[in-house]
Amino acid sequence: MVRKQLAALAASVAALLLPLSGTAQDKAAPALTLTRLDCGTVRVNQLNAFSDTLAYTGQSRDLSVGCYLIRHGETLMLWDFGLPVSLKNAELSREGAMSASMTRTIVEQLGELGIDAADIGYVAVSHFHFDHIGQLADFPKAKLLIGKGDWDVLTSPDKPASVNASPFAAWIDGGAPVEPVSGDKDVFGDGRVVMLNMPGHTPGHHALLVRLSETGTVLLSGDQAHFQENYDRNGVPTFNTDRADTLASFDRFKGLADNLGATVIIQHEPRDVAKLPPFPKAAE
């Protein structure tokens, strides 16, 4: 057990340190780009759902839903899968706790880029909540990368009724490859795209580090935070699975952001959309 833990720690350290040696700047390295896809809007009418200290009594706001296409040479990877297609052109409402809508599917946006769903080699999810897995099932042959803690919940016969495993059917049934990620995961082995272990929101929640040659280091938050004020306050949503883990992950996420001089993109923060080029352009 100790040897396995040391090996996992060494792999995480290697993933974060490798670009510092100059590997990421090697002119022979595959080209790397990051494109934001619009995966909808969530209207939150009771914002205190995102604060277990009731910091937002009486407040509401619209949150963006971002998905991301990563090109690593000839290999294509998607990070997060937005809202389900059933919510396309749904009406946003001021009634109830929240509502959600989307205007274009991931497949439609990929089509504008000349990409077919079958071209996607990797599908990676920050966590298993509905607004991050809604269109995952449209890519049933790609290799799935998911936090082990989340995978364990999805495949448990005792999973909570609130956890929807149906988008993962192709992988749970064995029809497509899956890699449950225990710690950090250097996706392509060159330190430029790294899944970062950030548990707390869910047991296997991850963020994503992307090191681009021109834009610099980008940190995609997953749901470490949902909007800027909650990021600033280290806010903990009422539905997170572990408060202590959430706060520890905030400490790590912000430490990495500061030490790497990273551009932080809070995936649900509309004000962060402009930090990346508008679709169909890509950050390089």
* Tens-digit pLDDT profile for residues 45-91: 999 999 999 999 999 999 999 999 999 999 999 999 999 999 999 99
Measured between alpha carbons, how far is 122 from 191 in angstroms, rounded to an integer? Answer: 16
pLDDT at res. 22: 40
Distances (CA, A) of 62 to 15, 47, 122, 210, 265: 35, 10, 30, 26, 16
- Which pLDDT value is given to residue 29? 87
Domain annotation covers residue 116 = yes
What's the pLDDT tens digit per position in 236-277? 999 999 999 999 999 999 999 999 999 999 999 999 999 999
**In-domain check, residue 282:** no
Q: How confident is the model at residue 28 (pLDDT cuts 50, 70, 90)?
A: confident
Q: Is residue 281 part of a domain?
A: no
Q: How confident is the model at residue 17 (pLDDT cuts 50, 70, 90)?
A: low
Res. 23: pLDDT tops 50: no
Residue 7 lies in a domain: yes
Q: What is the mean pLDDT of residues 89-115?
A: 96
**Based on the structure, what is the number of domains in the chain?**
1
Is residue 94, in this structure, part of any structural domain at all?
yes
CB under 8 Å to 125, separation ≥6 — which residues? 79, 80, 81, 132, 133, 136, 144, 145, 146, 150
pLDDT 10s digits, 118-145: 999 999 999 999 999 999 999 999 999 9
Cut 0.85: pTM above it: yes
How many other C-beta atoms lie within 10 A of the C-beta of residue 38? 18
Three-state SS for 195?
Answer: strand
Contact indicator for 147, 205 with CB cutoff of 8 Å: yes
Query: What is the pLDDT averaged over residues 109-124?
Result: 98
One-character DSSP codes across 97-137: SEEEEBSS-HHHHHHHTT--GGG--EEE-S--SHHHHTTGG
137 residue type, one letter: A
CATH number, position 204: 3.60.15.10
Per the structure, the complete domain to which residue 6 belongs is given by 2-23+32-275
Q: How far is CA 33 from the centre of its chain?
A: 16
Q: 284 in a domain, yes or no?
A: no
State pLDDT tens for residues 175-233. 999 999 999 999 999 999 999 999 999 999 999 999 999 999 999 999 999 999 999 99
Is residue 283, in this structure, part of any structural domain at all? no
Residue 26: band (very low, low, confident or very high) from pLDDT cuts 50, 70, 90: low
Quick one: pLDDT at residue 5? 44
Does some domain include residue 41? yes
Length of the chain: 284
